[in-house]
Structure 1
Amino acid sequence: MSLLPEWAPQDAIQLSWPHSNSAWTPWLATAWKLYATLCQHISQYQKVLIACDPSLNIEEITELLQEHNVKLENILLKSVPTNDVWARDHGPITVRENDQLKILDFSFNAWGGKYAYDKDNLINRRLDEQDAYGALLEQTTLILEGGSIEYDGHGTLMTTSNCLLNPNRNPTLSKQQIASQLTEHFDLKQIIWLENGHLEGDDTDAHIDTLARFGPDNSLIYVQCLDRTDAHFEPLHKMETELKQLKDANDQPYRLFPLPMASAIYAENRQRLPATYANFLITNHQVLVPIYEQPEDEQALDVIRHAFPGYEIVGVNCRVLIEQYGSLHCITMQLPEGTLHS
């Protein structure tokens, strides 16, 4: 089996729609508008598969999508119980095995049991029961979130030791055992374990997709902090040093594209929120980039423009998402071409 990179041709993007029986209640109207905007961008070119908790009114969602000029023929709304919205982590991960696609449904425990996850851990199975997927769905007991891994398309997987080796995920497995399972599931040539880097306010134990991302043509896009007075300076500087030393499976260095660190944004309780430009989403024709109404937004979009030539670069205001400690990539999961039921 081999893992598919995010920029492989896609059928759809999978989402889980926010609802009031969750922590989203104070920001629900704003979150709905963001989801509608996201669907408008994605539906121009491909389908969107949306898990909608039974508490939601499908007609109300459809009306909102219509108001945002969404291509409704590309929207698939499925009634499925959900706890929260983080499709990157509870969504399926697709691999290719002997020219056939297989959808792996890893176990999800809400980043070490930090929140309720009983419904989210079943979303993929419930979607499969409704014939949403066009490839075999296979269960696996390994606890693994999509946001905790990055794949370069050529045999190298990158993750953080802080997340994947955290005892709140797979406490009975050693690093070697986890590496062995990842290699078996994804047909890897090497695993990069980053030892540095984190964002204040992040509750995922340093997901790689908040820090450093692979792109096509051997590119590596990462968050750089140049402000020595910022609490992120030292850990991100150490991470940058690690990244500069990395080589791919063919012993070639990566082409590095540093993203700016967003100016500090705080919640009402004065906790710093994890605003990161690295949490972008790659679709068939676009790269959707989270922006936060900050001075660094335009610089971040420009960096992504250089890293992804040939793609349309679209900024999406994700200020509301960081209120719940995630961003754009965190709420999405790509479904590669051949995985959606036709």
Structure 2
Amino acid sequence: MKRFFYKNSLLFQLFFIVILSANAQQTYHLTHKLSDEERALMQTREYKFNETPAPTGDIRAIAEWESMEGAIVAYDGGFGIPLSMISAVSQDVTLYVFVAGAAEENTVTNTFQSNGVNLSNVVFIHQDPNSWWARDYSPWPIVINEETVAMVDFPYNRPRPNDDNVPFIMGGELGVDVYGMNVTHAGGNFMCDGYGTAVSTDLVYEENTSMTPAQIDAKFQNYLGIDNYFVTNDPQDDYIKHVDCWGKFLDVDKILITQVPESDYRYEDYEAIANFFANQNCSWGYPYEVIRVQAADFNSSDINPYTNSFIINNKVYVPQSGSNLDDDALAVYEEAMPGYEIVGVYSTGWYNTDAVHCRIHGVANRQMLHIKHTPYNGLVDYQSAFDIEAKVYTYGSDVNLASGYPKLHYSINDGEWQTVDMTLSSGNTYTAQITGISETDTTKYYIEAKNTNNTESKLPVMGSEDPFVFHHNTTSDVSDVTFDNAINLYPNVNNGNFDLTTPYNTGRMTIFGADGKLLYQTNITDTETHIMSGINNSGLYFVKIEQEGYQTFRKIIIK
């Protein structure tokens, strides 16, 4: 029997009356920022959140780029996002639309019909929303024991009771368990990678002063399976203090961070955040690739909320404001997320503290597939064959792995893709082998699975478009070691420019990203070479030097 954990309904009813009374003579739409009336209510309200026991078993918070079956939006005189985007999303997944009642449903239905929304994919829920910021108050999806999707609720950091009730309403709508974690929060200030790492700003500490950071960490571990919780300062220095206003996980090993001009008083704070993540290992055990997207100076009137994008099922909706930086932002996403469809969403209603991501929330696919694997990446010791091991899980009752899956796909030196069926070794663990590798090869690979409902999953998400990539360290005999020792690269922590000393005056130097992507290549024509790579994104990179039949690698960090 499903369990639905309700908040104190009488208290919410009384509190909602207070809200209505406070706003009865107001005609304006609630803002993302607390109004003066709400700020006063936050100081005086008596609010008791009924925390539930934490889920038992292995808990995993689901990442935004994992399979979604729906999206939540709320109508409050509008949706806060263009109808063109709502129409596009409705073609792919179910839209759960919160409206005040039957009359409003009729109004919205007519609007949807006029704007190409797929009404067969629309579910209306009668619960008058206090606001349209669905990201901030919607439940966070988790999976228990890699088999059952559930949700985590939390006290919303706004005195908006109807919004705060959305999690358990969605639990009832979907028939999934909802767990209550008593940590005041907002969805825009939480992002996770699906492997136990999450990020928030220190707003989470400011709004939960009755708990120590260690106690908050324990809550996140117990309810969400977060073992590595990065709590950072807020480089944006604005009222909202939400991580999605300046940063975004694009994958387990990729993080997008806003970049501002040096003239901006926040420049050093943004650079410190970017450098912090460039020096942290992702959940796969190697440093993050830190990708930068440019924003205008603080004193400019430009609107550039580019990290406030929405990822859903191989599409990325990126806010556009008419800025001359819009096209560059789309190009950053296209380069960082090959294979995804990057969709620009223009609106005059975006703010640097509030855009696409704030106003819509994904609903995790209850019958998704999850592939868990720690990849080979970058520079690895040479072997003629590599064993690939992955755990593959199917969610939902009566759903199994399709026959012939999972499969391992690999390519050596950009040759044709080869496919190998993976073999069940134990439990949910499957293995296969990449063979035929020589010492100078570059190998790419990905894993593919499918279930009996024809749901497909790949790791990495885009498969051959953005595979795992690794190279080899081959300094084994005496001459190789002599060559390697004669290479000098300085400084190894740099801004993309560095000096290279080599034993020969001919050859080639190549720079690869942490994901194995070739980013820069030049011929060596002297034993002393000054390299100006033009690479601006902070992170770990691999430098390959080839001369006279020898090759070696160096690691550099660009800040």
Q: Aligning the two structures, in what range does the TM-score lie when normalised by the shorter sequence?
A: 0.7 to 0.9
**2:154 is equivalent to residue 96 of structure 1:** no
SS of structure 2 residue aligned to 1:322: coil
Q: Corresponding residue for 1:329?
A: 357
TM-fit CA distance, 1:339:
8.3
TM-fit CA distance, 1:228:
2.1
Distance, in Å, in 2 between the alignment partners of 1:318 and 1:106 is 30
Higher mean C-alpha displacement, 246-255 vs 96-105 = 246-255
Q: Corresponding residue for 1:133?
A: 174
Distance, in Å, in 2 between the alignment partners of 1:160 and 1:198 is 11
What are the residue-to-residue correspondences of 1:76-87 with 2, within 5 Å?
76-87=123-134
What are the residue-to-residue correspondences of 1:92-241 with 2, within 5 Å?
92-98=139-145, 99-110=147-158, 116-128=159-171, 131-161=172-202, 163-166=203-206, 169-200=207-238, 203-204=239-240, 206-216=241-251, 218-225=253-260, 227-241=261-275
Distance, in Å, in 2 between the alignment partners of 1:296 and 1:120 is 34
Identity of aligned residues (%): 20
Q: Corresponding residue for 1:62?
A: 109
Distance, in Å, in 1 between the alignment partners of 2:187 and 2:69 is 18
Question: Paired residue for 2:327, among 272, 293, 298?
Answer: 298
Distance, in Å, in 1 between the alignment partners of 2:103 and 2:258 is 36
Query: TM-score, normalization: structure 2?
Result: 0.52
SS of structure 2 residue aligned to 1:107: coil
8 Å contact from structure 1 (residues 318, 328) kept in 2: no
Distance, in Å, in 2 between the alignment partners of 1:337 and 1:137 is 15
Question: Structure 1 residues 10 and 265, CA, compared in 2 at 3 Å: closer, same or farther?
Answer: farther
Q: Corresponding residue for 1:314?
A: 343
Higher-Rg structure is 2
1:310-342 Cα deviation digits (max 9, x unpaired): 11110112431429x4111011111110189xx
Q: Corresponding residue for 2:504?
A: none
Distance, in Å, in 2 between the alignment partners of 1:262 and 1:282 is 24
1:202-260 Cα deviation digits (max 9, x unpaired): x32x21111111122511111111x2222332321222222222212343101121111
Distance, in Å, in 1 between the alignment partners of 2:119 and 2:236 is 38
Higher mean C-alpha displacement, 240-249 vs 291-300 = 240-249
- The one-letter amino acid of 1:334's match is G
1:266-319 Cα deviation digits (max 9, x unpaired): 8xxxxx687410000001131000111100000101111122221111011243
Distance, in Å, in 2 between the alignment partners of 1:75 and 1:264 is 40
Counting helix residues as a fraction of each chain, which structure ranks higher? 1
8 Å contact from structure 2 (residues 252, 284) kept in 1: no
Question: Paired residue for 1:8, among 63, 66, 89?
Answer: 66
Q: Corresponding residue for 1:50?
A: 97
8 Å contact from structure 2 (residues 302, 323) kept in 1: no
Distance, in Å, in 2 between the alignment partners of 1:216 and 1:242 is 17
Question: Structure 1 residues 255 and 229, CA, compared in 2 at 3 Å: closer, same or farther?
Answer: same
- The one-letter amino acid of 2:64's match is E
Counting strand residues as a fraction of each chain, which structure ranks higher? 2
Distance, in Å, in 2 between the alignment partners of 1:232 and 1:274 is 16
8 Å contact from structure 1 (residues 45, 285) kept in 2: no
Question: Structure 1 residues 159 and 284, CA, compared in 2 at 3 Å: closer, same or farther?
Answer: same
SS of structure 2 residue aligned to 1:303: helix
TM-fit CA distance, 1:157:
1.1
Distance, in Å, in 2 between the alignment partners of 1:164 and 1:186 is 15
TM-fit CA distance, 1:82:
1.5
TM-fit CA distance, 1:141:
2.2
**2:284 is equivalent to residue 243 of structure 1:** no
**2:313 is equivalent to residue 284 of structure 1:** yes
Q: Corresponding residue for 2:290?
A: 256
- The one-letter amino acid of 1:68's match is N
Distance, in Å, in 2 between the alignment partners of 1:199 and 1:147 is 15
SS of structure 2 residue aligned to 1:57: helix
8 Å contact from structure 2 (residues 195, 252) kept in 1: no
Higher mean C-alpha displacement, 52-61 vs 299-308 = 52-61
- The one-letter amino acid of 1:251's match is G
8 Å contact from structure 1 (residues 263, 294) kept in 2: no
- The one-letter amino acid of 2:173's match is A
TM-fit CA distance, 1:63:
1.5
Query: TM-score, normalization: structure 1?
Result: 0.83
TM-fit CA distance, 1:196:
4.6
Distance, in Å, in 2 between the alignment partners of 1:240 and 1:157 is 16
8 Å contact from structure 2 (residues 201, 242) kept in 1: yes
Q: For structure 2, list consecutive stretches of 5 or more residues without a partner in the other structure.
A: 1-58, 369-559
Q: Corresponding residue for 2:76?
A: 18
Question: Structure 1 residues 265 and 68, CA, compared in 2 at 3 Å: closer, same or farther?
Answer: farther
Distance, in Å, in 2 between the alignment partners of 1:274 and 1:53 is 31
Between the two proteins, the alignment pairs up a number of residues equal to 310
1:141-180 Cα deviation digits (max 9, x unpaired): 221222111112222112222x1111xx212011111111
- The one-letter amino acid of 2:354's match is G
Distance, in Å, in 2 between the alignment partners of 1:54 and 1:45 is 25
- The one-letter amino acid of 2:60's match is S
Question: Structure 1 residues 339 and 326, CA, compared in 2 at 3 Å: closer, same or farther?
Answer: farther
Q: Corresponding residue for 1:113?
A: none
1:37-78 Cα deviation digits (max 9, x unpaired): 221111121111111134962122111111211111111121
Question: Structure 1 residues 54 and 260, CA, compared in 2 at 3 Å: closer, same or farther?
Answer: same
- The one-letter amino acid of 1:132's match is E
Distance, in Å, in 1 between the alignment partners of 2:341 and 2:191 is 22
